[in-house]
Amino acid sequence: MFNINDYEFNKETYSVEIGEENMTFHCHHYLTTLQKTLYDAEYMDGFMIMASSAADSVWYQLSNLCKDLNIESSKKVAQDIYKVFGNGLIDLNSMDKNGIKLKTTKSILSKTWTMQFGESKKPVDPFTTGFIAAAYAVIYKKDLKDLNISQTTEMASGDEFNTHIIKLGEPNITIYPKKSKIKYTTIEKPKSKWEHAQLVTDTFSNAHKNFIGNEEGYIYGFGVYVVNTQVDYINRVQFEFMNAVKKFAGDYGTTLASELLMQAGYACGFFTLGGIMLSPEWEGAVKPYLKTKEDWIYAMIALTNNMGWGYQYVAKLSKDKMIYRCYDSFEDLSYISMYGKSKEFTHWANSGGWSSIMPIIYNSDIVETGELDIFSMYEEVRRSQYGYRTTRTKGISCGDEYMEMEVAL
């Protein structure tokens, strides 16, 4: 029913839209680090923030994908996109008008949580809970606001399977205000200073078609597990986490939450960008064009312009400083569509992620040897009081034409 090949990468907006929802790739290091950040803040219900955010974005997507389809066909579409996007496997055949009690054994969040942190005392698959709630609401034409959702067993806690329950009555989902349609910038995007940039971008422009769930519903590439996830899901989680921290900690909450959210992006940068540069794909399709350390950074920007993060550009680059810009930054555009204009910068994943590229290139010997001990370097740099520091200088949600940050010594 669902065919990923029906959807093309938009070379004007540098995005992929499926069911009127933009999609973005994130690695398991980012997803689990972000999730643990919410879970560690015991003054908020991290599970329900994530489950409600998933229900919200998936409801929008499935409402469009399942329009005019019957119940069985709609179930198949939901199952297909869950698998294709790398979340694992679900079977919705037992779902009826009263809801569903679903047991699953393939969950990317449960699998990678144990890889990162070991056993969990709490259920760690809120995305699936929210996803199933959205599927139920769309298929049986119910309101999310009327649903009670929960996860009662968890493989990461030692159970044989995860159990997700969706039912009517005693509603507990947070319902967010209706969002507006994404509005892209109309200003001309500058071209990369590296002569091979467009070639590399074009080479990987079908990433969303090639990186799809295997027979277990997982996507493994570049040394990490990857999920092709709804942009508004991951961003809603970030925005609502920020709101919860500010409510708890006042003005200091903005600084605290920003640092924590950027740390999740930092993990993504090290393991995803580092993994890409150690991959066979990089070795065969990119490395032959690289002459300088700066070329490695320009090439990485060109490749990841296909990831759904926006159009990325390096305005200045040397060992001492990088000025990074992103036009149509996926975080900024989401924030505007959900909440309107912001007084504070709303790009954390993007800024945190790209903060890692400077120490990777200039503080390791990956360019000379093609080798990198990512785990050791990540821990060393993360705990260091010296080296590169990131300063966010512009944001689209704050009224600027592009997001910008500086990473400098």
Residue-wise pLDDT for 51-62, tens only, equals: 999 999 999 999
Q: For the domain that residue 254 is a member of, what is the CATH number?
A: 3.30.1380.20
% the chain with pLDDT above 70: 100
Q: Which of 201, 177, 166 is nearest to 300 (CA)?
A: 201
Which CA distances in Å does 352 have to 21, 49, 200, 269, 297? 24, 22, 23, 7, 15
Does residue 2 form part of some domain? no
Of 151, 168, 185, the residue that ends a domain is 168
Residue 25's pLDDT band, with cuts at 50, 70 and 90, is: very high
Higher pLDDT, 385 or 115: 115
pLDDT at 277 over 90: yes
Segment 110-121 mean pLDDT: 97
Asked if the structure places residue 3 within a domain, the reply is no
Name the domain boundary from 126, 151, 168: 168
Q: Are residues 46 and 113 in the same domain?
A: yes
Provide mean pLDDT across the span 371-384. Answer: 85
Domain assignment present for 174: no
Look at residue 153 in the predicted model and tell me its pLDDT: 98
Q: In the chain, count H helices and then E strands.
A: 17, 11
What confidence tens digit (pLDDT) does each residue in 207-264 have? 999 999 999 999 998 889 999 999 999 999 999 999 999 999 998 999 999 999 999 9
Band (pLDDT 50/70/90 cuts) for residue 341 is very high
pLDDT of 409 strictly over 80: yes
Does one domain contain both 351 and 400? yes
- Whether 14 is covered by a domain: the verdict is no
The answer on 134 and 218 residing in a single domain is no
**Mean pLDDT score, 314-338:** 97
Identify the band that residue 382 occupies on the pLDDT scale cut at 50, 70 and 90. confident
Q: Could you tell me if 151 and 107 lie in one domain?
A: yes
Task: Please report, rounded to a whole number, the percentage of residues in the chain having pLDDT higher than 90.
Answer: 94
Q: Taking the model in full, what pTM does it have?
A: 0.96
Would 10 be classed as within a structural domain?
no
User: What is the DSSP secondary-structure string of 171-240?
Assistant: --PPPPPPPPPP----SPPPPPSSTTHHHHHHHTTTHHHHS---TTS-EEETTEEEEEEEHHHHHHHHHH
pLDDT > 90? residue 166: yes
Other CB atoms within a 10 A radius of the CB of residue 80 amount to: 16
Domain extent at residue 52: 20-168
Query: What is the average per-residue pLDDT within 274-291?
Result: 95
| Domain shared by 215 and 156, yes or no | no
63 contacts 56 by C-beta, under 8 angstroms: no
Quick check: 381 pLDDT over 90? no
pLDDT band, very low/low/confident/very high, at 383 (cuts 50, 70, 90): confident
Let me know if residue 254 belongs to a domain: yes
Q: Within this chain, do residues 150 and 248 fall inside the same structural domain, yes or no?
A: no
Three-state secondary structure call for residue 166? strand
Last residue of a domain, one of 168, 184, 205: 168
Mean of pLDDT values over 112-132? 97
Judgement on whether residues 210 and 129 belong to the same structural domain of the protein:
no
pLDDT band at 377, cuts 50/70/90? confident
pLDDT at residue 222, rounded to an integer: 86
Q: What is the pLDDT of residue 380?
A: 82
Looking at the domain assignment, is residue 308 inside a domain?
yes
**CA 382/CA 258 separation, integer angstroms:** 16
Residues contacting 178, CB < 8 A, separation 6+? none
- pLDDT of 1 reads 78
Residue 386 has pLDDT above 80, yes or no: no
Closest residue by Cα to residue 46 from 165, 151, 143:
151
C-alpha dihedral sign at 252, 254, 257, 261: negative
Count structural domains, the chain.
2
User: What pLDDT score does 391 carry?
Assistant: 95
Residue 385 has pLDDT above 70, yes or no: no
